[in-house]
Structure 1
Amino acid sequence: MSRQGRFSPEVRERAVKLVLEHQTEYDSQWAAIGSVAAKIGCTAETLRGWVRQQERDTGRREGMTTTEKERIKQLEREVRELRQANEILRKASAYFAQAELDRRSKR
């Protein structure tokens, strides 16, 4: 289950849009972020993270996009499941091999 937080995607998107549209009215992007964050009730650092991710998603900043992050999470989950399955199969194989040895020694 994904950790969404207390802000809907619509609120996040609108807050980022406000920062990007109005940053020229402030001395710095950080000042714009602080102003918008106060208005929507989140911390400036939270909003800064949303803005940075939007910049990565649109190619204005280097780094992993949201889609790439989701794909990596999916692959890590799949690797974890496959490792668990391999461990189960390894233990089952060892169990049946031991059972076969026990059966042969009783003859």
Structure 2
Amino acid sequence: MIALAAFPLAVLVLAFAGPQDWVFVVFAALWGASNGVMTIVRGTVPAEIWGRDGYGGLTGLMATPVLLARAVGPFFAAWLLAAMGGYTPMALAFAAIGVVALASFASAVWFNRR
């Protein structure tokens, strides 16, 4: 959960802390650490929650929204930048998406424990 929470935190640090060198270091550390941990989690948690049967199909289904978001993300970011006139709305949108991802993961874990 901490690793997933670091994604929106990293974006908010980058958006609101100002253009100092330490900001970029903190952003890179948060983003890199959370991305590294989430890479491992994406490979292990589905098998723990739903079992090993159909693991390949399940992870393929899980990868679909990620790949679609990566394809649409640059267009969405450009639209927000043009429509809102700055990077702050874009950073807030990406942070909100990260919070939704955290809530989704937390609910999946919570329902699995029941």
Q: Tell me the TM-score normalized by structure 2.
A: 0.30
